[in-house]
Structure 1
Amino acid sequence: MFNTTTSGAHDWPAMIESARSHLPESNAHLALLFGLGAPVVIILLNALRQILPKNSSDPPHVFHWIPIVGSAIEYGTNPVPFFMKNKEKHGDVFTFTMLGREITAALGAKGNNFVLGGKSLDFNAEDAYTHFTTPVFGTDVVYDVPNDVFMQQKKFVKVALSVDKFRSYVGMIEEEVEDFIASEPCFAAAKTKGEWGSFDVVDVMQEITILTASRTLQGKEIRSALDKSFAGLYNDLDGGFTPLNFLFPNLPLPSYRKRDAANKKMTEFYVDILRKRIAAGEVDEEDTMASLVQQRYKDGRPLKEHEIAHIMIALLMAGQHTSSATGSWVLLHVARNPDVAQAIYDEQVKHFASPDGRLRDMTYEEMRELPVLDSVIRETLRVHPPIHSIMRKVREPVPVPATLSSPAGKTEGVFVVPKGHFVLASPSVSQVDPTVWADAETWEPKRWREQSGAAASAKEYEKGDGETIDYGYGAVSKGTESPYQPFGAGRHRCIGEQFAYLQLGTILATFVRDFELKLAHDVPEHNYHTMIVMPKHPRQIQYRRRQ
């Protein structure tokens, strides 16, 4: 029953005054209470929305507390454990929220095939990446054009990546590495017999890969300009290749303005070279620019000046990041494993020793027949793929194949990935899958010289013993069902794959010929805060000139 006063009547004035004393004294206090409470309400409503029954055809969704942000922090900090944890809970296919984007991951070799082998009308790379790449590469190339045009552009570049050209590149790359070692202060110890020195492997590999790529693919004008203002433009443009740029392509920040200005100036730089060559009648050079001048689209038109310039920019930027990352991981592992370093050196002596004890120059064909060197590069790419996630935008709803399993190893109905989602494949997951690879987490190059096993199967896919298809730039192994995909697969498989093996092999062989290497610490952990997976600090390699 209600309490009353002793007289039996309510003391209404006293009660009203008591209630008023417990209320905020101003509208500001009300706003403060609302401001504190509203986020809690939004978070709780977001959680409630996720636990309520949903469309049975939707893939399972990774629970998150904060709306819009979703799983961005966990995924961005350490994506592979994030994938593994949710694979165990939800199976091969699940959706997570990242800064407003709904991303459906499809993991493992079958997930690779689902995403990378999908039709471009359903899963589109241009929609996923053009906002990120176009400001860096420029307009009307790569993901800024329809897929059939991009495939033609890949074919144009592939002409410049012929075996005949590769034969001349080996000596060029070796010369660039030797010149770099002779001129850089960090290699001063190499001039003193028996003295140990050290270098930051990422800093060194970033410079060496751009020098060697420009010398071989870009042309004499670009290579000579790397010692001048062009290097500054490259750095400004490179500043647009970060996760922040991928998520937010047009922020009003100084780095974005530098990116845009650098693209404009670099475009003008390439166009100026092109015009000077044509005016001087120098159109028969042996580099990529000369090759592009001679190419024609299917409708018969030649490439426009800015298209040639932007393809040259894309070729320089895209290849440099992946090669410098892989080269860094290779040298770190070799320095940490002296038995492997010795095996590489012994292989060099066996094939290239001259009567005077010196090691003669390699040829392209000879380098392709060095199993130890090859296995070291392949194993490094397996454990450290440069790109951990490959995305496509979903243009039409796509059913998920029943072969992609739930946690119990069975499919509970058929999931459908909705239009507007992104789909994601992860080489970083399939390449360390313990159900596929023996001692999956262990860096073990010998696996690539075995006659059977996952590595042997991956090499068969690569050679084209699996399904081959021509997407418009020449027949390639489809390879989308392979668990080993450091260069992607399907229509967007990297056409620079063979050049990358050539470049990395020559650099590694030159270092091992010149130096004993050692690492005073373990191989560093992955840094996932960059677009390309790089090693964290410490990453100093110690070296001593071979006697």
Structure 2
Amino acid sequence: MAEPVKTGADLGPFLPSDPQQQLVLITFLTVLCVLFGRYLANTVGNGETPPVFEGLPFIGGLLKFTRDKPMKLMQDGYTKFGEAFTVPVVNKRITFLIGPDVAPHFFKAPDDEMSQTEVYSFNVPTFGPGVVYDVDQKVRTEQFRWFTEALKKERMKMYVPQFVMEAEQYFANWGDEGVVDFKEEFSNLITKTAARTLLGREVREQCLEEVTDLLHDLDEGMLPVSVMFPYLPIPAHFKRDKARKRLRDIFGRIIRARRASGHREEDCLQQFIDARYQKVNGGRESNEEEITGLLIAVLFAGQHTSSITTSWTGLRMVADKGNSYAKAKEEQRQIMSKHGQDLDMEVLGSMEVLHRNITEALRMNPPLVLLLRYAKQPFTATTSTGKQYLIPKGDVVAASPNFSHLLPQVFSEPDRYDPERFAPPREEDKVKPFSFIGFGGGRHGCLGSNFAYLQIKTIWSVLLRNFDFELLDPVPEPDYNSMVIGPKKCRVKYMRKKLA
């Protein structure tokens, strides 16, 4: 008779009888495994890996993330080691590549070399099954193609009048003067425009308040602990899962009604309803679960980032009232003298001053402090001094728009709001590829960047034509305690312009 396989309960003869000795032995073996894993990572191939920035062994890296926050961690690591360094966190290695010289492979490599799935899979409970990071790359590519179709120029032209309508209606409710917080106001407004152009007219007109509350519960269910433990049984995750199920019911009802009636709308939802796979899944049409997940993913990718960039644009412009703000107002005056009050895609596209103001706000205050990839193959990164480092397979690799955009060798006087740095002949962002990564870059550049610019330009065109502003507080610090980095509270006084 074969010897029975031993289970955990059968291992007593192989462990010390004393519980404390067992704990010591298990701890020793765990530490040994971690050390061996780090040894293998640091000796991969024949190349030199980036220097390790840890401090206290085993817990130093974790402390740096939880206590120091990413910006201080990067400042300390960059000051000590330069453009490439590795921070061990528990059983993972996070390698930071800071600045455009070490960035090309991060942004240009295909997904079978630098993957998003392993580092962003914590989003799966929020987005739901069968979409984005819960599918293989071939399926995800087709799903992203659907979104690209929804943002073609012909469709974008149809979205602009809806941006204008929502902005004019929203600001019509402001008084002749008052005090507002840009972050709160623009979050409310962009929720409305996103509902109309992305989620569908039915949501905007019939159940916006409920959907907004549900999206808030999804947002509140994405905590720092969720990155490591997305299914941890905590109240925030229970609310997240309940909200996701209810959104599935709401969108499912709308999808079924449109398909049954044949009624069509000009929105992103309609594009997803009409979508079919081409090379996978047997060429079938999209289903309700996928459509719900993609709508949530699109909204999460755009709503917070757009509202925050709209806020920073206003705060930075108004603080620079005699220069960039005055130039943006003069640009609006000239455009109105040529086109009247019309705001369409072509008119918005001609606003080069406002475009640079938005881009400079995004340079100084990108919404996402870290962009992450998982190295499925080792690769070499070369610093600005020509030093080469071998990045091992299995490392989580991080780039930071927030930190890289403030490097003085990339952008002159980086702490100064200077939109003209993007104008010819300076064009500082074009001196080296991947100098400006406010919308990411390379293979995974933001698909919705043009949508965001049109939306933000519409909002600020309406405001510049109808109001004057004054900051009652200094330009606020970024709130690095949030997953998406917005401004802390700042009071802004508005004054409605008197009709001539």
The one of 264, 268, 274 aligned to 2:249:
268
The amino acid of 2:383's aligned partner reads: L
Partner residue, 1:438: 412
Question: Map of 1:183-262 to 2, 5 A cutoff?
Answer: 183=173, 187=174, 190=175, 192=176, 195=177, 197-262=178-243
Partner residue, 1:474: none
How big is the shift at 1:456?
A: 5.0
Give CA deviations for 1:239-297 in whole Å, capped at 9, x if unaligned: 12332322331222111100011111101211111101111121x32112222232222
Distance in 2 (alpha carbons) for counterparts of 1:395 and 1:219: 39
How big is the shift at 1:118?
A: 2.0
Matched position secondary structure for 1:433: coil
Give CA deviations for 1:171-214 in whole Å, capped at 9, x if unaligned: 2112212222234xxx3xx2x4xx4x111111111111111111
Q: Is the 8 A contact 1:62 1:94 kept in 2?
A: yes
Partner residue, 1:179: 169
How big is the shift at 1:68?
A: 4.0
- Pairing 1:455–2:429 present: yes
Query: How has the CA–CA distance of structure 1 residues 146 and 92 changed in structure 2, closer, same or farther, with 3 Å as cutoff?
Result: same
Distance in 1 (alpha carbons) for counterparts of 2:259 and 2:125: 28
Matched position secondary structure for 1:526: coil
Partner residue, 2:9: none
- Pairing 1:147–2:137 present: yes
The amino acid of 2:453's aligned partner reads: Y
Gaps of 5+ in 1: 1-30, 459-480
Matched position secondary structure for 1:94: strand
Question: Map of 1:329-408 to 2, 5 A cutoff?
Answer: 329-339=312-322, 340-353=324-337, 360-396=341-377, 398-401=378-381, 403-404=382-383
How big is the shift at 1:332?
A: 1.0
The one of 437, 445, 449 aligned to 1:485:
437
Distance in 1 (alpha carbons) for counterparts of 2:383 and 2:206: 51
Matched position secondary structure for 1:378: helix
The one of 114, 122, 133 aligned to 2:105:
114
Partner residue, 1:168: 158
Partner residue, 2:496: 545
Distance in 1 (alpha carbons) for counterparts of 2:67 and 2:198: 33
Of the structure 1 ranges 138-147 and 243-252, higher mean CA displacement relative to structure 2 is found in 243-252
Partner residue, 1:532: 484
The amino acid of 2:116's aligned partner reads: A
Q: Is the 8 A contact 1:106 1:425 kept in 2?
A: yes
How big is the shift at 1:72?
A: 4.4
Distance in 2 (alpha carbons) for counterparts of 1:438 and 1:217: 38
How big is the shift at 1:423?
A: 0.8
How big is the shift at 1:220?
A: 0.6
Distance in 1 (alpha carbons) for counterparts of 2:469 and 2:87: 43
How big is the shift at 1:446?
A: 1.7
Distance in 2 (alpha carbons) for counterparts of 1:247 and 1:514: 47
Query: How has the CA–CA distance of structure 1 residues 158 and 76 changed in structure 2, closer, same or farther, with 3 Å as cutoff?
Result: farther
Give CA deviations for 1:295-314 in whole Å, capped at 9, x if unaligned: 22223222222111211121
Q: Is the 8 A contact 1:156 1:291 kept in 2?
A: yes
Q: Which has the larger radius of gyration?
A: 1
Q: Is the 8 A contact 1:106 1:114 kept in 2?
A: no
How big is the shift at 1:382?
A: 0.8
Partner residue, 2:469: 517
How big is the shift at 1:71?
A: 4.5
Of the structure 1 ranges 222-231 and 519-528, higher mean CA displacement relative to structure 2 is found in 222-231
Q: Is the 8 A contact 2:248 2:288 kept in 1?
A: no
Question: Superposition RMSD on alpha carbons, in Å?
Answer: 2.9
Distance in 1 (alpha carbons) for counterparts of 2:162 and 2:203: 15
Q: Is the 8 A contact 1:128 1:422 kept in 2?
A: yes
Give CA deviations for 1:368-389 in whole Å, capped at 9, x if unaligned: 1112111100101111111121
- Pairing 1:292–2:272 present: yes
Distance in 2 (alpha carbons) for counterparts of 1:119 and 1:164: 30
Matched position secondary structure for 2:436: coil
Distance in 1 (alpha carbons) for counterparts of 2:216 and 2:270: 25
Identity value in percent: 30
The amino acid of 2:332's aligned partner reads: Q
Q: Is the 8 A contact 2:115 2:376 kept in 1?
A: yes
Give CA deviations for 1:95-149 in whole Å, capped at 9, x if unaligned: 002354310111111222121222312221011101x211111111111111122
Query: How has the CA–CA distance of structure 1 residues 126 and 74 changed in structure 2, closer, same or farther, with 3 Å as cutoff?
Result: closer
Scaled by the length of structure 2, the TM-score of the pair is: 0.86
Distance in 2 (alpha carbons) for counterparts of 1:108 and 1:541: 34
Give CA deviations for 1:450-497 in whole Å, capped at 9, x if unaligned: 323413557xxxxxxxxxxxxxxxxxxxxxx32111111222211101
Question: Map of 1:21-60 to 2, 5 A cutoff?
Answer: 55=43, 57-60=48-51
Q: Is the 8 A contact 2:115 2:374 kept in 1?
A: yes
The one of 495, 500, 503 aligned to 2:455:
503
Matched position secondary structure for 2:483: coil
Matched position secondary structure for 1:499: helix
Give CA deviations for 1:374-419 in whole Å, capped at 9, x if unaligned: 11001011111111211112223x1323x225xxx352xx533233
Query: How has the CA–CA distance of structure 1 residues 429 and 114 changed in structure 2, closer, same or farther, with 3 Å as cutoff?
Result: farther
How big is the shift at 1:526?
A: 1.5
The amino acid of 2:214's aligned partner reads: L
The amino acid of 1:219's aligned partner reads: G
Q: Which runs of 4+ in 1 moved over 6 A?
A: none
Matched position secondary structure for 2:326: helix
Query: How has the CA–CA distance of structure 1 residues 163 and 153 changed in structure 2, closer, same or farther, with 3 Å as cutoff?
Result: same
Query: How has the CA–CA distance of structure 1 residues 353 and 491 changed in structure 2, closer, same or farther, with 3 Å as cutoff?
Result: same
Q: Is the 8 A contact 2:196 2:267 kept in 1?
A: no
